[in-house]
Chain A
């Protein structure tokens, strides 16, 4: 008959380094990464982004790129990212206002580009609002 040997290995009483108790946040993570990607594109290649979006203000796009980077880093670096998600919503509002203003001064192909950009921003705004609302609710 087998009698169990007494345990000699110590029992661990802490989680290992790098493991925490945070819940997975797939949409927030996606938005954070999206923010960083877009931010890098706007900050590093503002003239190319001006051509794509139809907003002919490279200096403004560079500033918006820095704003996106800050939001993205804020989202990814925090377990409770509601504030940073709402900062994206505020950024979306600024983007839409900028696009509206640019539309009135634009002509030809630029107008079509601005409308496409506005549609894309509107779509992302919905995701930002949903995600920010969910995180605000769970953080309260």
Chain B
């Protein structure tokens, strides 16, 4: 089969690789019909997470049609369409019983490596390095879906891929980020990063009762999308000082809830800390570029909440923790417990409350994946979200 494989820094290739096989009785194999490139994939592309090996298949936002089922699978059959959550859960360990599915104790076969880096090992992820189980990813023609009946979300007829494929990651991620922000009715919510996750943070903030949503970015088309589809008030960080602007917009109090949907590759424009982050990262003295997080902490009102769906990988530098502690901020973060959200968010789509396809800017063939990574990373051609068709 064809698959997008990692071969080094900024080196993704469409290779011919072996088809996946059923390995456990609870597996299914799907023919992938749509698969997406995620901002998190860029952390592998740019080697911010240095745990990939040449030939590893990328991708963690797939959906497709079941073509083969394991012997223990009874509720899924050939021909069913399923969306596959990016994280793999067993459903029965201590963490899964408490619905912390991305913290699953049993689905990371390389748990020791992750434990050494993180203290305890999170659960397995598709296509996301040897720290998270080295599972073959979903940017491919076929995918082995692990523990399929528990993890996968079956899709009813009548819903095209474009409306549901983001249930694999970015819609639940945005929703959980908004939930983690502890939004109370009427709150002012500020979202850093208007990429696809940020767009769903904005949508979800409204769903959860926000009175105002402020979207912060520097890329014009992303701000336009946030304003048009997210009804957000937009702040262009290249045109104003974000802190000053948010203070002005909130009459000096600061936003009630701040969501960092940027993560470890913040560009940060010409801000001093962002420039220093880039310099340090270039020479290997920094693992993360945390400009958005620093800014969210400084801007958040006292006793507010900072929610972090943005992925961090190591040891972000110079975090104003003194400010966070003395202002009494609450932090909530984590890889999404996707399986909590796929069914309720699917219902919202079915009821017409949201059409997630608004975020798609590019629909390309799998073979165009290498070029797609380039335009997504460099924000060329007004690229915001790429969906690939194998």
Q: Name A residues whose Cβ lies closer than 8 Å to a Cβ of B.
A: 1-7, 9, 11-16, 19-24
Known: A4-B355, A11-B362, A11-B363. A23 touches B370 (CB 8 A): yes
Taking the nearest CB of chain A, how far is it from the CB of B202, in angstroms? 9
Q: A4-B354, A4-B355 are in contact. Are A13 and B370 (CB under 8 A)?
A: no
Measured CB to CB, the closest approach of chain B to A28, in angstroms, equals 13
Interface string of B360-379 (1 = CB under 8 A from A): 11111001111110110000
* Contact across chains for B371 and A20 when beta carbons are under 8 A apart: yes
Q: B17 — which chain A residues lie within 8 A by C-beta? A: none
Which residues does B use to contact A, with CB under 8 Å? Answer: 7-14, 203, 206-207, 228-231, 352-358, 360-364, 367-372, 374-375, 380-381
Residue from the list A3, A13, A15 in contact with B352, Cβ < 8 A: A3
CA of A13 to CA of B362, assembled, Å? 6
When distances are taken between beta carbons in the complex, the residues of chain A under 8 Å from B206 are 1-2
Please name 12 further chain A to chain B contacts, defined as beta carbons within 8 Å, in addition to the given A6-B358, A7-B229, A23-B7, sorted by A numbering. A1-B207, A4-B354, A4-B358, A5-B229, A7-B358, A13-B363, A15-B381, A21-B369, A22-B370, A23-B11, A24-B8, A24-B11
**Given known A-B contacts A4-B354, A13-B363, A15-B364, A21 and B207 have beta carbons under 8 A apart:** no
Interface of A is mostly: loop
CA distance A13 to B372 in the complex (A): 11
B residues near A15, Cβ cutoff 8 Å: 364, 368, 371-372, 375, 381
For residue A2, which residues in chain B have a CB less than 8 angstroms away from its CB? Answer: 203, 206-207, 230-231, 354
Complex-state Cα separation, A6 to B358, whole angstroms: 7
A7: B residues at CB distance < 8 A: 229, 355, 357-358, 360
